[in-house]
Structure 1
Amino acid sequence: MTLTSTELGAAASPGRRPAGGAATTGWARLRARPAGRVALLTVGLLVLVALAAPLLSAVEGQDPNTFHDDLLDSATGGSPLGRFGGISADHWLGVEPTTGRDLFARLVYGARVSLGVAAGATAGQLLIGLLVGLAAGLGGRWADAVLSRVTDLALALPGLFFSIALLAVVPQSFPRPLLLGLILAGLGWAPTARIVRAEALVLREREYVAAAQLTGASTWRIARREILPGLVAPVATYTALALPGNMVAEAGLSFLGLGVKPPTPSWGQMLSGATTWFQVDPAYVLIPALTLLVCVLAFTGLGEALRVALDPKGARR
């Protein structure tokens, strides 16, 4: 018996879970978990701080690049006057040693750079990984073999050494935040491609995919309409876990002096300049370090909460 396109679509629908329903259920599970709510609230607050950095610094009455030499003790080599790194009503988190720049203003502006680079790099990794993974999972045998070997090669590359080498040879005139995002995306897409390929190989055996193939749907249409909705859970979970990793990578490269250059603030750059002042001004080290720690923990907790919320068995955990 020959089925029409409409009948094939109807026959396939019972085996397919609507993407909107799954997303709604996952969102409800995420909000129902206390850890998920805390992580989501913390991430939202950090993003809001980054977006509102000019407003927050204006409320404090400071900017990130103004030097305040009068707040430094020249007898000690430039350590802040006052207790706890010079914290006062005018400088909520104190000032930097040797420069006197306001630490709160540099911290909130640094959130823009750190979160922006990490978000851009993660988006690039997601895009490249989706394209390569789908091409490998839905392509022919030769396409799968070639792209899988390319992915294996990308996984085997020492990302830190290649990042250092690329940052060292690219001219300083190239915008460093953009360069950091491109390098991290170009060197970190392979895990996403692996996940997408594995899921695509499973999903292409489902009945609704076979029905779409019988109707003459193109590979691109099958990937977009039938495969991508099934990739939402694993890809969203990995993305939430990859973003804090990219934040740490950006901070590490800036800490080594290869990332964002002064006077543009970033958390890694602040930590790099704070290492020699730990005994004299512990707050200068602890404030950016704790902020980075909270941010990484929040995104990691959000990724774990997403994994449980989007898991079909999550409701029973």
Structure 2
Amino acid sequence: MRDDIDSEELAPGVHRVETVTDGKIHGYHVLEGPTGPVLVDPGYVDAPTTVYEPFLEARGWELSDVGLAIVTHSDADHFGGNHELREHSPGVTIAGHEADAHLMERTDRILEERYSMFEPDHGITYEQDVYDWLTGMMGPDESIDLRLRGGETIRVRDRQLRTLHTPGHTAGHLMLYDAAHDLVIGADGFFGRGLYDVDGEYLQPPPYYLSPEYENTIALVESLAPETLSFTHYEVLREEAIDEFVQESLDFVAEIETLALELVDERGPITLEEAIEGVVDRRGSFGLDLDLAFPLSAHYTDHVDRGELETVERDGRVAWVRP
């Protein structure tokens, strides 16, 4: 196994396989299914061979033994390895939630509908190097064979793990719950105050774009009271650390929502770009500050739906104002 890959058995038959790429933790998961290994997220473009294969071979498996892969959501570092996995295991079934499946299947579609979602109404786009980084994590287009809705069960050794539909970060985000061992595989379900690199520097703010769905996902995990919570981009959380992370996540939601409304009252009608600038002025940089577009738009959209804000056009851009 490569020196930069660590693994840990979180519960009987549930393994976390962790590496660091571009300074960010990537903790993927392997389940011991009834007919062979099950991957939870094939990962970025070459993760099946560079991350998973050494782990599998050390335990007497081959990548070709993988019969099922569950993609937790439509982000490049979670589904980008689908094609490479299929090349090494042609019979694999790749599954994902029906709300995200169409984005996972086509690179052009996810670049337009997810990674450029704020361009048409708000004129907000990433720099080219960010798009190059995103496309570099994705292999050729690959189909999703099985569309999930949440609630399905997967056999692992002598028990069943249940899929949970946990929207917020994406519409079709999934988690896995092992009730027998109080374990949640959380993928990118929520983010505390944001993502950090291994040196503790900000990478980006919490990129959720659905509210109140994101808060509901946090509350769901809190209600399960797991003893172990394994997100993709954080160290494994246990017991009191889970409670602290849940509260930190909820506190950020409350803080950003309050600040978003304050900025409308002070500057409205306010564009999304101006709102991002206002948050950075008051709270400092979160690294990739353009990603503040996700939580800010989530809360503005929610308040429009409630009738507490309305959208207007200003200089060809969507802006928000009190009715």
TM-score for both structures, normalised by structure 1: 0.25
If asked which structure has higher relative contact order (CA below 8 Å, sep 6+), I would say 1
Q: Which has the higher strand share?
A: 2
Q: Which has the higher helix share?
A: 1
